[in-house]
Chain A
């Protein structure tokens, strides 16, 4: 499993939406209807899995799965 697939699986698990419904460019908040605190929970799950400390202020930078993947790669460097 690539890291992109891993992140997709993690996001799907957190927001309880089947992986196949999460398109890379779909807006998590407007298309999939998640709220901002669930966005924080995605950060919490990433922190637990990859031990990366993403500040909550970066929440505004994530709209799509692709944004999350980019953010994780930025913090894993």
Chain B
């Protein structure tokens, strides 16, 4: 008998329902018009204090939608990644952010200046955020997810949450793994102004869910999502070992 339990997951993600007219409207900040200026300003500050180098940029040249996933040690992570994502894409990128940070007015201002925010309730029901991310991806937009779901205080990679596997496998979208080196030293948890230093980002090859979609026929859905997520983590660990 087939173990495939994905029908329930698809129902929870509302994948069989038609998309609303403008599915991403509620995540867009009204002041997003100043995002290009904000990025420009941030780039100048970055060049002065923490220049960002990147390799593997060719891996970003895939057709959206995709998920970008990286290690997470600093509040700088998302913004430095976006400095290397083609600007026409970074200006419309989405990101998941913890609701508890979003509730702070200043943090909210910065987050929404940088990105279109999908709030995640870390303490309660996490499914609305997964559903919102699914809607955004279905609308053809790309999204950043930190699969550790929290910043690592030690700089070591934490275990990954399986939600990213659910999205990739059920929506058949690739995940581009990235490893950020330097943000932990420059601006770790609890530090509010960056030190001088160099940031290096490595973008890995996209991880496509095709074989995992096949596996759903013989395995329970969660195991497939977990396997995908573990493979993603393994790839980010590999990127972390590359000398710069």
Contact = CB atoms under 8 A, between A and B. Distances in A.
Interface in A43-74: 43-45, 47-48, 53, 56-57, 59-60
Given A44-B9, A45-B5, A45-B220, A37 B225 contact: yes
A5 interface: no
A36 interface: yes
A9 interface: no
Contact of B222 (A40, A48, A53): A40
Given A41-B221, A41-B222, A44-B221, A36 B126 contact: yes
A54 to B, nearest CB: 9
A68 to B, nearest CB: 15
A3 to B, nearest CB: 19
A37 B8 contact: no
A44 B166 contact: no
B5 A47 contact: yes
A35 B162 contact: yes
B89 interface: no
Interface residues of B, number: 19
Given A44-B9, A45-B220, A37 B162 contact: yes
Interface in B1-40: 5-9, 11-12
B88 to A, nearest CB: 34
Interface residues of A, number: 17
Contacts of A41: 5, 220-222
Contact of A40 (B7, B9, B161): B9
Contacts of B221: 41, 44
B117 to A, nearest CB: 22
A57 B125 contact: yes
A47 B220 CA distance: 13
B133 to A, nearest CB: 14
Contacts of B197: none
Contacts of A17: none
A26 interface: no
Interface string A23-40: 000000000000111101
B194 interface: no
A63 B103 CA distance: 29
12 contacts: A40-B8, A40-B222, A41-B220, A43-B8, A44-B9, A45-B220, A48-B5, A48-B8, A56-B12, A56-B125, A57-B125, A57-B127
